[in-house]
């Protein structure tokens, strides 16, 4: 069934909006999947802060061109869906690949590639992207890097204060011994 021109423009606008919010996407072929299986995959991608969408290839190509993204023509053939990485492409790629390893999906779902920035990715590079730290993991690593020097300064100051206290205590003890010797001599 043909879709109307208005519906086509609506789909292109939806794709453009998703591309604006994304830092990349994964392309999958999904032939033979049931609706519950697709819904399950959608849920996993959504948990990874992404969006899974079955696309119309020609309309998606127009959206890519309009937004000046690279167009992976050879990957957009047949029934494909796109998992958009809404600020978390590594997490979305990992969610898709983890789902691919599950029994009902491994025969029906195939990652054909993706796009990150200006690079078109083959399936091997999509797997490499899935191993990158997620945005939350990067934030934790940066926080650790910021806190580490501060903790070092605190340790140095604590150590220095402890040394000053030890020197003062030794002086007090030495003074106390001197007074005891003077009293003993008298």
pLDDT computed for residue 152 by the predictor? 67
| Among the listed residues 84, 183, 173, 93, the one whose alpha carbon sits nearest the alpha carbon of residue 134 | 93
Q: What does the pLDDT look like over 65-77, one tens digit per residue?
A: 999 999 998 999 8
Which has the higher per-residue pLDDT, 132 or 60? 60
Q: What does the pLDDT look like over 100-150, one tens digit per residue?
A: 888 676 778 889 999 998 899 999 999 999 898 876 777 787 777 777 776
Would you place residue 14 in the very low, low, confident or very high pLDDT band (cuts 50, 70, 90)? very high
Q: Which residue has the tokens 């492409």?
A: 89
Looking at the domain 5-132, which fold is it?
Alpha-Beta Plaits (3.30.70)
pLDDT computed for residue 179 by the predictor? 66
- 37-49 mean pLDDT: 92
Would you place residue 82 in the very low, low, confident or very high pLDDT band (cuts 50, 70, 90)? very high
Backbone angles phi, psi at 71, to 5 degrees: -105, 110
- What is the reported pTM? 0.72
Would you place residue 81 in the very low, low, confident or very high pLDDT band (cuts 50, 70, 90)? very high
> How are strands ordered across the β-sheet holding 119-121?
50-54, 80-85, 24-29, 110-116, 119-121
- 30-48 mean pLDDT: 89
């Amino acid at each position: 069934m043909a879709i109307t021109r208005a519906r086509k423009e609506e789909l292109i606008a939806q794709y453009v909006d998703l591309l604006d919010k994304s830092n990349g996407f994964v392309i999958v072929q999904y032939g033979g999947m049931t609706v519950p299986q697709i819904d399950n995959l959608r849920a996993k991608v959504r948990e990874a802060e992404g969006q899974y969408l079955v696309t119309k290839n020609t309309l998606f190509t127009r959206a890519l061109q309009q937004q000046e993204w690279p167009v992976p023509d050879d990957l957009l053939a047949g029934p494909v869906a796109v998992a958009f990485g809404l600020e978390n492409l590594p997490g979305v790629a990992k969610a898709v690949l983890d789902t691919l390893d599950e029994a009902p999906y491994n025969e029906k779902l195939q990652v054909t590639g993706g796009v990150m920035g200006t690079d078109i990715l083959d399936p091997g590079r999509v797997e490499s992207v899935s191993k990158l730290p997620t945005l939350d993991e990067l934030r934790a690593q940066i926080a650790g890097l910021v806190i580490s020097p501060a903790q070092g300064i605190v340790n140095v100051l604590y150590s220095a204060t402890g040394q000053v206290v030890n020197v003062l205590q030794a002086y007090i003890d030495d003074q106390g011994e001197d007074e005891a010797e003077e009293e003993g001599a008298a």
